[in-house]
Structure 1
Amino acid sequence: MADTIIRPPTFSKAGPSADFILPTIPWLSETWHVTHSSLPMWNSKRNVQIKYTPLPPSSDAVPAESSDRLDDLVSYQSLSNAKVHTIEGVDAASGEGRGEWDWRGKGWLKIASSHWEVLGWGEEEGTGNKWVVTCFAKTLFTPAGVDFYSKDQGGLRPETIEAIKQKLAAVEDAGIRKMAGDLFEVKIDGARQM
């Protein structure tokens, strides 16, 4: 974690981090388990998963391996019910690179949209477990928030979580620092006990 960079979002006044490298589309194309969040909507949910699958690029000028569109499937359960709920949408690359995305819902959620960004990503040493930190801009329905993702359903090691929190708390953006302080653990059946 020592060389991991957590950057401020582009909508921040702090400005971009010159050392930050974006994850590739193949690296990001996984089913991720949301382990921690500052978004109130996940406080009453469990087993929150987000699956990113590359879609054909929006034009022939975009190489297929770095597609500028992702299928975005969110699934979750309430804390007291076994029924699995889903939210389907499409992410379109926003800005340069593939670190900023504009989400638009599918079906009756087509009127809903949001902007999200990758703030950090990496792999836990010795485990092969990948992690991502995402930030969501404020919408009409939700406040701005931060999520931690883990590829492994077991979640992230406590030292990884603590290191990411420390790096978020050091970002030169008051909003991100506040979100880092508001983080809570999202329940995952079968996850490591902290």
Structure 2
Amino acid sequence: MTDFLEKLEGKWHILFTNFPMWLKGDKINPTFNYEISTKNGKRGLRDEVKYFQKGKIKSINGFDEPLNENDLSFEWRGNGLLSVLTSRWKILYFDEQTNWAIIEFEKTLFTPKGYDVICREKQPNELLLEEINKKVKELNLVKKLKKL
């Protein structure tokens, strides 16, 4: 069960998205930063979303609890004042060899259903971008995603 958490641990750059928070343009260079952790006796990922806003690093912190045995679906719960907020997300596609993934977020009270393409590399080479675009097309997400 824990193998997949280990594959997610570390820093991921958002390359493509349809998430309004990233597309407005005032929050730039978003990253997901995962660390294996335990909360309330449950193993999951400490989750820190970092981005730049007005030249300063900002972050949103929470905890992702796996919802199934293979750790492909999660429920995020915010920390502190954000602890009343939850969000469910799952990994639609994961390429372990070239380190990128497609994530789908469920609609919440505050956000629409959305998709992110994340990658270990901030600026992947052309070959990897071709591979990503091929999978995005295959999953019928081309019209939904914008490059960051």
Structure 1 residues 110-168: Cα deviation after superposition (integer angstroms, max 9, x where no partner): 111100001101146xxxx4101110000000000000001012236330231121221
Alignment partner of 1:117 is 2:90 = yes
Stretches of structure 1 lacking an aligned partner (at least 5 in a row)? 1-22, 60-66, 170-176, 187-194
Structure 1 residues 57-89: Cα deviation after superposition (integer angstroms, max 9, x where no partner): 755xxxxxxx731100000123xx211110000
TM-score of the pair, normalised by structure 2: 0.87
Stretches of structure 2 lacking an aligned partner (at least 5 in a row)? none
1:147 corresponds, among 116, 126, 134, to 116
Q: Which residue does the alignment assign to 1:161?
A: 132
Larger gyration radius, structure 1 or structure 2: 1
**Percent identical:** 29
Q: Which SS does the other structure have where 1:143 is aligned?
A: coil
Q: Distance in 2 between matches of 1:68 and 1:100?
A: 13
Say which structure is richer in strand: 2
**Matched residue type, 1:36:** F
TM-score of the pair, normalised by structure 1: 0.67
Q: Distance in 2 between matches of 1:115 and 1:58?
A: 18
Q: Distance in 2 between matches of 1:148 and 1:105?
A: 22
The number of residue pairs the alignment matches comes to 143
RMSD: 2.1
Q: Which residue does the alignment assign to 1:53?
A: 35
Q: Segments of 4+ in structure 1 off by > 2 A?
A: 56-59, 155-158
